[in-house]
């Protein structure tokens, strides 16, 4: 049976949640605490507001061209040359995002789980596993993400166990930071929230492209709420000052959950498993988006042939940063690219689309059918003349 190449309405939300939840979530509380102290919560809420605006812009653009991917309508709006350059840069951006995620995943895994395993071995193992699901197409990816989504909610069942060590006083005093500090903290939070840009490519595969806005905003709301819970738990249980000193405070606070009667032993291992699954889904969706976008650029039916070359590129790009500081700088560059894409290129394409009416896909199909009929008729006439 032929695999379905369309995303159901609920699967749009699932894809967005799986793309965003991942490696960036773990270190976000520490980054916010270092930048703004208790006002890190304000920084995060500002980043979420900024992200909602970006989501609306991206979905508006996708809805303007419901039956076309980014590679198609960007070339139509910008012209063939500028469109090709932009699509190539976007593909490079997606590959860079995957490489940043893979590198952060490998670094954290090496610190907490596999201290004696080479970084290269961790990266290769993850890319090898992710590439198999990526090559199977959109439907298996969506179904796998649906299963993983239920697993993501399980760690939040231990939230009540934090009550004995939770201190509301850690959130005071608020509103002590200036605008520049809030903006810097919001900037640092963007990397943990990035991912909605995949809808520029996958939006055309939605079952109802005109109704993308609701499931997209629902997905962003779910992710924002889950990450907010993690930040609040880290600040309230570990203290803001302690959170700022830790590289990955979410993993550290899990180790000290006061579980009564020792119901669970080594609950941190289970949390690690969920985190690995969430990072895996992020990498898979990123690989599929990059490969599918390249396939649309070159008018190919499938992006399977690009998956392995992209994995090779991701491997070498993930090894470029030599230490954690360079990984952070690498991530900051990607945040700048995200801001330029969402608040620069997307509004530009929206404005141009107001003056250039989106092509009628039905008319294009009719014209292509007429061309094929004309070619067949000419072929028959040529063949008949040769025989006579």
- CA 256 vs. chain centroid, Å, equals 30
CA distance 247 to 226: 20
User: What local confidence, expressed as pLDDT, does residue 2 receive?
Assistant: 47
Q: Which helix or strand (DSSP H or E) is residue 153 part of?
A: none
pLDDT band with cut points at 50, 70 and 90 for residue 259:
low
User: What local confidence, expressed as pLDDT, does residue 250 receive?
Assistant: 77
The CA-based angle 196-200-202, given to 5 degrees, is: 90
Name the more confident of 255 and 149. 149
Assess whether pLDDT exceeds 70 at residue 262.
Answer: no
Of 326, 228, 239, 289, give the one whose Cα is nearest residue 97: 289
DSSP 206: B
Q: Compute the Cα dihedral for 66, 69, 70, 73 and give only its sign.
A: negative
> For the ranges 36-45, 154-163, 325-334, 343-352, which has the lowest average pLDDT?
154-163
Mean pLDDT of 320-324: 86
Structure tokens at 358: 């989106």
CA distance 371 to 388: 26
Of 143, 151, 191, 164, give the one whose Cα is nearest residue 272: 151
- If you count DSSP H runs as helices and E runs as strands, how many of each does the chain have, helices first? 17, 0
pLDDT band with cut points at 50, 70 and 90 for residue 93:
very high
Contacts of 133 (CB under 8 A, 6+ apart): 140, 141, 144, 284
Query: Half-sphere exposure of residue 371, counting CA atoms within 13 Å on the CB side?
Result: 6
Structure tokens at 320: 């470029």
Residue-wise pLDDT for 189-219, tens only, equals: 888 888 889 999 988 888 888 888 999 999 9
> For the chain, which residues make up each domain, given as ranges?
9-356
pLDDT band with cut points at 50, 70 and 90 for residue 369:
very low
| CATH class of the domain comprising 9-356 | mainly alpha
Residue-wise pLDDT for 58-69, tens only, equals: 999 988 888 888
Mean pLDDT of 159-179: 75
- CA 274 vs. chain centroid, Å, equals 17
CB 296 within 8 A of CB 72: yes
DSSP 357: P
CA distance 221 to 78: 33
Omega of the bond leading into 348 within 30 degrees of 0 (cis): no
The pTM for the full model equals 0.86
> For the ranges 239-243, 283-287, 291-295, 351-355, which has the lowest average pLDDT?
239-243
CA distance 280 to 151: 13
Residue-wise pLDDT for 23-45, tens only, equals: 888 888 888 888 888 888 999 99
Q: Indicate the average pLDDT of the chain.
A: 83
CA distances from 241 to 170, 246, 305, 322 (A): 9, 9, 49, 28
Residue-wise pLDDT for 287-313, tens only, equals: 999 999 999 998 888 888 899 999 999
CA distance 278 to 290: 19
Residues in the chain, total: 388
């Amino acid at each position: 049976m032929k695999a379905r190449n369309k995303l159901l309405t609920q699967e749009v939300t699932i894809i967005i949640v799986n793309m965003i939840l991942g490696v960036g979530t773990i270190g976000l509380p520490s980054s916010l605490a270092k930048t703004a102290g208790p006002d890190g919560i304000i920084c995060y809420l500002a980043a979420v507001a900024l992200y909602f605006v970006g989501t609306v812009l991206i979905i508006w653009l996708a809805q303007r061209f419901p039956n076309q991917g980014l590679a198609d309508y960007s070339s139509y709006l910008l012209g063939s040359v500028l469109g090709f350059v932009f699509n190539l840069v976007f593909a490079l951006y997606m590959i860079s995002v995957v490489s940043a995620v893979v590198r952060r995943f490998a670094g954290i895994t090496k610190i907490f789980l596999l201290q004696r395993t080479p970084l290269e071995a961790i990266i290769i193992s993850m890319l090898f596993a992710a590439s198999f699901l990526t090559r199977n197409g959109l439907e298996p990816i969506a179904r796998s993400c649906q299963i993983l989504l239920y697993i993501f909610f399980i760690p939040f069942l231990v939230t009540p166990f934090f009550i004995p060590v939770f201190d509301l006083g850690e959130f005071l005093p608020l509103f002590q930071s200036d605008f520049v500090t809030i903006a810097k903290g919001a900037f640092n939070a963007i990397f943990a929230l990035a991912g909605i840009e995949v809808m520029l490519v996958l939006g055309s595969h939605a079952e109802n492209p005109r109704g993308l806005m609701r499931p997209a905003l629902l997905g962003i709301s779910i992710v924002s709420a889950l990450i907010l819970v993690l930040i609040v738990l880290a600040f309230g249980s570990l203290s803001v000052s302690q959170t700022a000193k830790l590289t990955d405070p979410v993993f550290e606070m899990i180790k000290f959950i006061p579980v009564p009667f020792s119901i669970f032993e080594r609950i941190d291992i289970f949390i690690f498993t969920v985190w690995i699954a969430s990072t895996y889904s992020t990498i898979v969706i990123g690989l599929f988006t990059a490969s599918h976008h390249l396939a649309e650029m070159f008018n190919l039916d499938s992006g399977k042939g690009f998956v392995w070359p992209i994995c090779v590129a991701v491997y070498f790009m993930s090894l470029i940063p030599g230490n954690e500081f360079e990984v952070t700088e690498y991530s900051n560059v990607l945040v700048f690219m995200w801001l330029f894409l969402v608040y620069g290129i997307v509004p530009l394409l929206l404005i141009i689309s107001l003056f250039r009416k989106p092509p009628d896909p039905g008319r294009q199909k009719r014209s292509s059918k007429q061309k094929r009929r004309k070619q067949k008729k000419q072929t028959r006439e040529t063949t008949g003349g040769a025989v006579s």
